């Protein structure tokens, strides 16, 4: 291999080279599920044997076209872009071949060649791999819906021509790809070629390797990439999972909090508790403020079940249904600082309280910036590190229907929660010793991140929702009475017009 000083441009195949899996089928399954729903998800799985047969008889291009058509036909282009922005990067990153990336990252100009439509991979390639992308273009109707067809052919000759246009004034220094792949015909344009598996023999090059930009925020309900076998398992589990979720939720509402940890084990749930649990509130000036990391909507409920008593939880922008299903009291905040401060003080005067200062959930091993409000209101602060593991479905969403969050959590066969109680902050670590609220909040963030093995970030709730949903994550609270009034006014307006 040439020295790094001579390395200029590289062109690499995506499937089977930068990504370990040469089959893009699972990524189209993700688009079908997240952009359209369960019916299209099942339909695409049903045609998989046909796609596989076409590939086996050498008609790979026909199989790919069928895959694209079933996955996106009739789907709004905006929905496909949303999935490509919020869902797919996480799964691409999990499948990234780090050895291939080490070679790819050494070059100044990087180009990725893919069999998938450009819209599905562009966000990941540009932001996380810092490269250009060459892929097919979806045909979109004037109403903004994908037709299921592509503007240009996906054959090897067409790919060769598109790569040649990009490198019209120079030959790529290096081409990465599988020699057996029809989409790797562009390799003949390159001065040098490399094929998987990749190895880095030069230690000097190892020091120059860039780290791919990590995926901190991602959305979507599926935990595992839906390969054909995984997708079939998910579909078979859905009816039983819905029934199991219903039973778990009903039992959580009717049973005493002291019995929930034991009953949950009978239905596949598991709670792992570490550290010493504080005693119940016994009167005095203030209760304990439990400051938790925010992994799912279930964090305060799990904490209450571990402590075997109902502890009110501070909430913001959760659905009305989630509040109704909550087996613990909830205290809705307004985001008006002085109003929220008074509400929290009032609740602490009555007893213990749970707060998640990140303000929103984060799935990856990162902690978002902590709001400093909690540090101003009490010196009795107990940090609690919360983490969870699920098998099939994520219990959080940014752009989906948040009311389904607890249902998806309980649909998992064996959800596991880990609760680690840290020691109450000493007085010298609180605002009473002269520290600013931001110093206290940052300190609590650091010790919780250290306990979980996570990384601290300065990202906030608004940053997350801007990336995933294009808004600030605010869900306006509308009471049931106000909803009725709105419906009546709309009805009266229609009647008047008639």
Q: Residues 172, 132: contact at Cβ < 8 Å?
A: no
Question: What distances in angstroms separate CA 146 from CA 35, 174, 235, 324, one per listed residue?
Answer: 12, 35, 25, 39
Q: What is the pLDDT of residue 482?
A: 52
The overall average pLDDT reported for the chain is 87
Q: Residues 361, 397: contact at Cβ < 8 Å?
A: no
Query: 350, 374, 355: which is closest to 284 by C-alpha?
Result: 350
Contacts of 468 (CB under 8 A, 6+ apart): 85, 86, 217, 218, 219, 398, 399
Which domains, ranges and CATH numbers included, belong to the chain? 4-198 (3.40.50.1000), 249-482 (3.40.1130)
Q: What is the pLDDT of residue 202?
A: 57
Q: Quick one: what percent of the chain has pLDDT higher than 70?
A: 88
When pLDDT is averaged across residues 132-143 and rounded to a whole number, the result is 92
Q: What is the pLDDT of residues 109-123, one digit of tens each?
A: 999 999 999 999 999
Model confidence at 496, pLDDT cuts 50, 70, 90, reads very low
Distance, CA of 203 to CA of 224 (rounded, Å):
35
Report the run of H or E that residue 296 belongs to, with start and end. Answer: none
Q: What is the pLDDT of residue 393?
A: 96
Q: Considering only 264-268, 372-376, 383-387, 475-479, which range has the smallest mean pLDDT?
A: 475-479
Is the omega angle on the peptide bond into residue 197 within 30 degrees of 0, that is, cis? yes
Q: What is the pLDDT of residues 248-293, one digit of tens each?
A: 989 888 888 888 888 888 888 899 999 988 887 776 678 899 999 9
When pLDDT is averaged across residues 204-218 and rounded to a whole number, the result is 76
Q: Give the pair of three-digit tokens for residue 375.
A: 């540090």
| pTM given for the model | 0.87
When pLDDT is averaged across residues 61-89 and rounded to a whole number, the result is 95
Q: What is the pLDDT of residues 13-70, one digit of tens each?
A: 999 999 999 999 999 999 999 999 999 999 999 999 999 999 999 888 899 999 999 9
When pLDDT is averaged across residues 81-103 and rounded to a whole number, the result is 95
Residue 419 has pLDDT above 50, yes or no: yes
Distance, CA of 205 to CA of 106 (rounded, Å):
8
Q: What is the pLDDT of residue 477?
A: 47
Distance, CA of 357 to CA of 449 (rounded, Å):
13
Query: 414, 407, 365, 408: which is closest to 391 by C-alpha?
Result: 414
Q: What is the pLDDT of residue 469?
A: 78
Counting Cα atoms < 13 Å in the Cβ hemisphere of 350 gives 13
The Cα diameter of the chain in Å comes to: 79
Q: The tokens 């002291």 sit on which residue? A: 258
Q: What is the pLDDT of residue 295?
A: 94
Distance, CA of 178 to CA of 194 (rounded, Å):
8
């Amino acid at each position: 291999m040439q020295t790094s000083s001579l390395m200029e441009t590289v062109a690499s195949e995506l499937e089977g080279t930068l990504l370990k899996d040469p089959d893009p089928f699972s990524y189209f399954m993700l688009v079908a599920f997240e952009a359209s729903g369960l019916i299209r998800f099942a339909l695409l799985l049903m045609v998989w044997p046909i796609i596989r047969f076409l590939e086996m008889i050498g008609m790979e291009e026909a199989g790919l076209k069928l895959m694209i058509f079933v996955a996106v036909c009739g789907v709004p282009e905006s929905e496909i872009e949303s999935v490509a922005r919020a869902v797919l990067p996480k799964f691409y990153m999990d499948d990234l071949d780090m050895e291939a990336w080490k070679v790819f990252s050494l070059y100044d100009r990087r180009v990725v060649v893919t069999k998938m439509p450009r819209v599905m991979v562009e966000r990941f390639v540009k932001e996380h791999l810092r490269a250009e992308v060459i892929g097919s273009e979806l045909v979109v109707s004037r109403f903004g819906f994908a037709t299921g067809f592509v503007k240009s052919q996906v054959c090897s000759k067409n790919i060769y021509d598109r790569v040649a246009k990009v490198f019209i004034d120079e030959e790529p220094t290096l081409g990465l790809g599988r020699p057996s792949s029809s989409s790797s015909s562009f390799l003949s344009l390159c001065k040098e070629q490399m094929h998987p598996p990749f190895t880095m023999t030069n230690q000097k090059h190892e020091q120059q390797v860039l780290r791919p930009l990590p995926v901190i925020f991602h959305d979507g309900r599926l935990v595992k990439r839906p390969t054909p076998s995984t997708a079939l398992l998910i579909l078979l589990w859905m009816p039983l999972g819905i029934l199991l979720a219903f039973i778990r939720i009903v039992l959580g509402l009717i049973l005493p909090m002291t019995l929930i940890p034991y009953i949950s084990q009978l239905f596949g749930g598991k709670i792992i508790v570490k550290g010493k649990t504080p005693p119940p509130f016994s009167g005095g000036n203030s209760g304990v403020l439990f400051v938790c990391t925010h992994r799912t909507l279930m964090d305060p409920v799990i904490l209450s079940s571990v402590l075997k008593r109902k502890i009110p939880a501070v909430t913001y922008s959760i659905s009305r249904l989630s509040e109704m299903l909550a087996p613990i009291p909830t205290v809705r905040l307004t985001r008006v600082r002085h109003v929220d401060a008074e509400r929290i003080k009032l609740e602490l005067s009555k007893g213990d309280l749970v707060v998640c200062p990140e303000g929103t959930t984060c799935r990856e091993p990162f902690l978002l910036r902590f709001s400093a409000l909690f540090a101003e209101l009490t010196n009795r602060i107990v940090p609690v590190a919360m983490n969870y593991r699920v098998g099939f479905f994520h219990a959080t969403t940014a752009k989906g229907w948040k009311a389904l969050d607890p249902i998806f959590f309980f649909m998992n066969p064996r959800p596991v929660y880990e609760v680690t109680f840290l020691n109450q902050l000493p007085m010298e670590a609180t605002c009473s010793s002269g520290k600013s609220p931001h110093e206290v909040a940052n300190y609590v963030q650091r010790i919780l991140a250290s306990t979980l093995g996570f990384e601290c970030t300065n990202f906030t709730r608004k940053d997350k929702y801007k990336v995933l949903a294009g808004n600030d994550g605010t869900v306006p609270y509308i009471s049931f009475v106000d909803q009725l009034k709105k419906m009546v006014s709309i009805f009266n307006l229609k009647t008047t017009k008639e």
